[in-house]
């Protein structure tokens, strides 16, 4: 400020002093006036320069202007740069935040006070069948037409989840989306969406499973308790007593088989994948299955042609017990379902490329094509009574599927109704070696990991 006053006085002195010196008092006053006017013109020129700079809008290059205007321009530029930096930082933070929301596996929709869409991520768009560009500023209730959603939207205070059918959901392939609303800010809403199809399916399967197990156990249990009660209350002749006890033993055996199969399944699900350290001789595996098949055939009093092809001289890697149980289940089924007079052919064949195929062919009733894809579901049976009569639990093929998957193999189910079935599985080359070779020869081949399922 002092510099400014000095500059002003200096201008006046430059006009006034020579005027007074050469022309006396009056000219001196005129000189002072001329000096003040010159100062004002100079200041206006500086102000004009600053104004031009402001209009140009290029705030990074400050004009070279001396005095107050120069300083004002400089301070203005600095303040602006600070603001610019703050704005850039805020924008960066917002971008990071939105990027995180975009990457979220859950759908996120920001709604304004009127429940119009302000922003949504791709996941939410996919869950709700919306277009992230076109549907902005649209009322969400006009776009999500599920009747459950409108009712849910009215009762946001309940803060509960609602499950609606997702886009493209059909009865055969339902798609379930769970939604939850959270109020935030001043009357705004955050709508979160989650694809719960797999969770709902798992829950559905769990309920079915529990119901099935209960049903399977209840039937023999009812027979057993009925017989126990009869035997407690009645004096039965020895012959009848024996018959009762035989039926009771059968029912107890049925429950035991069921529990064993359930335990096998849960062990298969819970244990680590079988490695390639344990090797089982294919001939031994077939011999054990043969013994079990013959025992089943004689227990069921069946006359079958049970043929086992000569086993290749090979070893298979994995859990020997699991592989034996898988093949035994297939051979057991063939024996149980093929009527007397029929035949069952079991073979292990080395395939080109080093894989091995275990196959069980029978001349039984066969399975209609619509049932084939469901045979490996737990408790799925084509003919319930025939399965039970022959001691089936409905879990055999589910166990086979698990074992084969755990060994990286492929399950093969082929059947023609009325003509017989050919069920088997193929193990990958990494799990097969010739009987004469050492494990080290094949250790270099990586063990194949099974597909999920």
Among residues 127, 182, 215, 371, the one annotated as catalytic is: 215
DSSP 146-170: -HHHHHHHHTGGG---EEEEPTT--
Nearer to ligand ADP, 389 or 441 (CB): 389
- Which residues have C-beta within 8 Å of that of residue 253, sequence separation ≥ 6? 391
Q: How far is CA 418 from CA 130, 302, 364, 371, 422, in A?
A: 51, 19, 7, 14, 13
Q: Measured from the CB atom, is 247 or 390 closer to ligand ADP?
A: 390
β-bridge pairing 107-111 and 356-362? unpaired
Closest distance to ligand ADP from the beta carbon of 395 (Å): 6
Q: At its nearest, how many Å lie between ligand ADP and the CB of residue 368?
A: 10
| Helical axes 320-337 vs 282-299, angle rounded to 10° | 40
Which residue in 45, 46, 44, 35 sits closest to 6, CA to CA? 35
Nearer CB in complex with ligand ADP: 191/397? 397
CA distance 398 to 404: 10
Give the nearer residue to ligand ADP in terms of CB position, either 280 or 393: 393
Residues with Cβ < 8 Å from 412, sequence gap 6 or more?
357, 359, 422, 423, 424, 425, 426
Nearer to ligand ADP, 84 or 383 (CB): 383
Catalytic-residue membership of 215: yes
* Least CB distance to ligand ADP at residue 380 (A): 6
**371 class by beta-carbon count within 10 Å (0-12 exposed, 13-18 middle, 19+ buried):** middle
**Do the Cβ atoms of 292 and 334 come closer than 8 Å?**
no
Note the residue count of the chain: 453
Q: Give whichever of 264 and 333 is closer to ligand ADP, judged by the CB atom.
A: 333
Instruction: Tally Cβ neighbours within 10 Å of residue 285.
Output: 21
Minimal distance, residue 254 CB to ligand ADP, in Å: 11
Q: For residues 341 and 302, is the Cβ–Cβ distance under 8 A?
A: no
Write down the least CB distance from residue 372 to ligand ADP, Å.
9
- From CA 355, how far away is CA 406, in angstroms rounded? 16
Q: Extract the tokens encoding 439.
A: 């494990």
Burial class (CB in 10 A: 0-12, 13-18, 19+), 367: buried
Residues 120, 117: Cα–Cα separation, whole Å: 7
Nearer to ligand ADP, 116 or 388 (CB): 388
CB of 250 to ligand ADP, least distance (A): 15
Contacting residues toward ligand ADP, per CB under 6 A: 329, 333-334, 337, 362, 364-365, 367, 375, 380-383, 387, 392-398, 421
Shortest spacing between CB 418 and ligand ADP, in angstroms = 11
Nearer to ligand ADP, 280 or 387 (CB): 387
Dihedrals phi, psi of 423, to nearest 5 degrees: -110, 140
Cα(206)–Cα(216) distance, integer angstroms: 15
Stretch (H or E) spanning 305: strand 305-308
CA 191, CA 164: separation in Å to the nearest integer?
A: 14
Shortest gap between Cβ of 330 and ligand ADP (angstroms)?
7
- Which residues are annotated as catalytic? 215
């Amino acid at each position: 400020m002092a510099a400014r006053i000095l500059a002003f006085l200096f201008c006046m002195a430059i006009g006034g002093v020579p005027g007074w010196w050469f022309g006396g008092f009056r000219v001196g006053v005129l000189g002072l006036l001329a000096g003040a006017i010159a100062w004002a013109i100079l200041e206006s020129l500086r102000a004009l320069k600053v104004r031009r700079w402001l209009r140009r809008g290029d705030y990074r290059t400050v004009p070279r202007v001396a005095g107050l205007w120069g300083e004002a321009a400089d301070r203005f530029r600095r303040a602006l740069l600070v603001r610019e930096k703050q704005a850039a930082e805020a924008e960066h933070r917002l971008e990071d935040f939105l990027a995180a929301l975009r990457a979220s596996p859950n759908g996120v929709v920001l709604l304004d006070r009127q429940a119009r869409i302000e922003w949504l991520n791709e996941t939410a768009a996919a869950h709700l069948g919306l277009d992230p560009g076109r549907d902005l500023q649209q009322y969400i209730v006009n776009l999500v037409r599920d009747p459950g959603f409108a009712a849910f939207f009215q009762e946001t205070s309940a803060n509960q989840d609602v499950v609606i059918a997702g886009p493209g959901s059909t009865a055969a392939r339902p798609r379930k989306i769970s939604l939850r609303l959270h109020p935030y800010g001043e009357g705004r809403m955050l709508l979160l969406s989650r694809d719960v199809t797999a969770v709902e399916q798992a829950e559905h399967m769990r309920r079915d499973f529990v119901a099935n197990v209960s049903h399977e156990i209840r039937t023999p249990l009812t027979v057993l308790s009925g017989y126990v009660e009869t035997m407690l209350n009645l004096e039965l002749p020895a012959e009848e007593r024996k018959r009762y006890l035989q039926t009771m033993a059968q029912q107890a055996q049925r429950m035991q088989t069921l529990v064993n199969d359930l335990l096998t399944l849960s062990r298969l699900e819970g244990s680590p994948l079988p490695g390639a350290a344990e090797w089982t001789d294919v001939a031994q595996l077939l011999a054990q299955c043969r013994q079990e098949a013959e025992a089943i055939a004689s227990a069921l009093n069946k006359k079958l042609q049970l043929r086992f092809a000569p086993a290749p001289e090979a070893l298979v890697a994995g859990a020997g017990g699991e592989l034996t149980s898988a093949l035994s289940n297939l051979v057991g089924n063939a024996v149980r379902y093929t009527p007397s007079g029929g035949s069952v052919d079991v073979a292990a064949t080395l395939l080109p490329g080093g894989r091995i195929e275990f196959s069980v062919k029978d001349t039984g009733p066969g399975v209609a094509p619509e049932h084939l894809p469901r045979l490996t579901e737990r408790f799925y049976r084509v003919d319930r009574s025939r399965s039970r009569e022959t001691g089936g639990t409905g879990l055999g093929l589910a166990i086979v599927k698990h074992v084969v998957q755990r060994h990286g193999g492929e399950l093969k189910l082929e059947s023609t109704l009325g003509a017989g079935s050919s069920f088997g599985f193929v193990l990958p080359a990494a799990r097969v070696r010739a009987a004469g070779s050492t494990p080290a020869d094949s250790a270099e081949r990586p063990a194949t990991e099974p597909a999920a399922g």
